[in-house]
Amino acid sequence: MSSIAVGRDGTTTAAEPVETGRPIPLSGSGRWTDIGTQILRFARSVSGWIPITPFGVAAIVGLFYAARRFSGPQSDLIIGAVCVGGLVICAMDVLIVVAAACWFRFRHRFESDDEQLTLDVGARSETGFGFGWSSLIPLISVGVKWVAPRGVDVELVAVRGGLREVVRPLQRGRGDEIVREITIRDWFGVSRIRFRRRASLSVHLLPGPGKAAAFELIEQLRPGDVLGHPEGQPMGDYIEMRRYAAGDPLKLVLWKAYARTGNLLVRTPERAVTPTTRMLAYFVPGESDEPSAGIARAAVEAGLLGDEVVFMAEGAQDPAGSPGNAVDQIIRSVHHRHSAGTGLDRFLVRGEDAGTSAAFLFVPPLPGAWLDPVLQAVRSHKGPFQAVIGVDAIEPAHEASSWWRLLFRQKQDRAVALDAVRTVSDRLSKAGAQVRIINRNTGESVELGTVA
């Protein structure tokens, strides 16, 4: 994006193009930064191939010293033999780990033939990546973690024929490759080697849809010819007549009727409207927004918001043209949590220009930077609005103690605090939105008063 620099004398000059969201590098610093990054990458790669852990170094030094100490004719032969045996075991561990690491790194083929991997957040899935019988070599263990994309739990499950990778994404996202860090270590912690393998395939981490909720579409009125307008405003076709009054445009005068009757009559628009369920839908990202993202995904994929819904997620420039494009916008919105809610006002203005003001808002369950911009947009526009808050579980206030979190940590990772959800709900309601809290796992509405 280009910018303009203004000098002290008032003159303007074109500044160098600057990419939005990135700092302007100092002169010549970009080259040194790249060199530093390459050096760090090389150092990390080399250090990963050092086959001895700090514990292994201490063990070898200690055993070697003990073996020297008890190697004399007056020494305890049993202790000396134990020390020598320990050194032999350490050396064997190192050799086995190095051999296994070289095999997995340079000879073993990991990647499947798939060009795209699609996973649901929160669900355990096999990726097709795995190790054969060679991973079951005695005295060694194999571990895998994903460096990119981030936020994915990985475990290796023993199956017939070796080990298979099972992953559970923790948040939505996408990437053009998978970078895995593979660790080979011995059982005693003496030796360890780490290296990385890249798989060039498209990765889509989709928000888990859970059970689709039933949405009652918001009905609004637009100009038409079905019902009389409740406010009596002229919004239809020019099919009605009345007597001419001073100031009426002459082009609306019925001259034929005047020639026949001598009365000046003018055409007036029909005071009528047509009910419609055409509506807007907007996804607002934020902290703990995965349940809301899953509900929004289920709604657009199943067509629960109607055939004429106009959907857009935070960070997108234009409304989605298809359900697939809408889901892609929801995925990409994870990178716009810092600016969440700022695009809602512009989206509502575009909808009102097209004659649509009713809107569904999919919002996070926790207050954040997104809340004030959304509240301002709701107050500034006609609406009506229905705010949908997605949750997996709500943590009652009396269960927020530290011992409860310790005992039920897995449950608490998915739950949100009752007070936080109530704050979001109350503020949206006061701004004029109808609030609905939906449990993603059941698809049912949640009443905060029943949470105990």
Dihedral sign computed on CA atoms, order 377, 378, 384, 385: positive
In the numeric block, the tokens 């099972």 are attached to 166
Question: Do the beta carbons of residue 211 and residue 169 sit within 8 Å?
Answer: no
- Candidates 1.20.120, 1.10.1060, 3.90.350, 3.40.50; CATH matching 277-450: 3.40.50
Q: How far is CA 212 from CA 294, 297, 316, 441, in A?
A: 9, 9, 24, 9
Characterize the bridge pairing of strands 4-6 and 125-131.
unpaired
Structure tokens at 335: 């990178």
Q: What is the mean pLDDT of each run of 10 residues along the chain (452 residues)?
A: 39 40 44 70 79 90 82 68 88 90 75 74 88 77 91 89 89 90 92 89 89 62 43 50 79 81 76 60 94 92 84 94 92 91 93 86 94 95 90 74 52 75 95 92 85 66
Q: What angle do CA 338, 344, 348 make, to 5 degrees?
A: 175
Burial grade of 42 (CB within 10 A; 0-12, 13-18, 19 or more): exposed
pLDDT of residue 244: 79
- Distance, C-alpha 15 to centroid of its chain: 35
**DSSP readout, 181-200?**
EEEEEETTSS-EEEEEEEE-
Read off φ and ψ for residue 367, nearest 5 degrees: -65, 150
pLDDT of residue 409: 47
Distance, in Å, from the CA atom of 101 to the CA atom of 78, rounded to the nearest integer, reads 34
Distance, in Å, from the CA atom of 340 to the CA atom of 258, rounded to the nearest integer, reads 61
Question: Do the beta carbons of residue 365 and residue 352 sit within 8 Å?
Answer: no
- Read off the pTM: 0.71
Distance, in Å, from the CA atom of 400 to the CA atom of 436, rounded to the nearest integer, reads 24
Domain boundaries, the chain: 35-206, 221-275, 277-450
Structure tokens at 441: 């796992």
In the numeric block, the tokens 């991997």 are attached to 117
Distance, in Å, from the CA atom of 258 to the CA atom of 149, rounded to the nearest integer, reads 77
Strand residues in 330-381 grouped as ranges (E): 359-363
pLDDT of residue 71: 67
Read off φ and ψ for residue 63, nearest 5 degrees: -65, -40
Structure tokens at 106: 């340079």
pLDDT of residue 19: 38
Distance, in Å, from the CA atom of 131 to the CA atom of 133, rounded to the nearest integer, reads 7
Q: How far is CA 249 from CA 72, 231, 235, 253, 263, in A?
A: 122, 24, 17, 7, 16
* Helical H segments across 382-417, by residue range: 402-407, 409-414
Cα–Cα nearest to 324, from 200, 214, 206, 175:
206
Structure tokens at 267: 């055409």
Strand residues in 208-251 grouped as ranges (E): 220-228, 238-243
Dihedral sign computed on CA atoms, order 389, 393, 399, 402: negative
Cα–Cα nearest to 199, from 213, 181, 222:
181
Provide the residue type at 278 as one letter. R
Distance, in Å, from the CA atom of 205 to the CA atom of 333, rounded to the nearest integer, reads 13
Distance, in Å, from the CA atom of 47 to the CA atom of 73, rounded to the nearest integer, reads 41
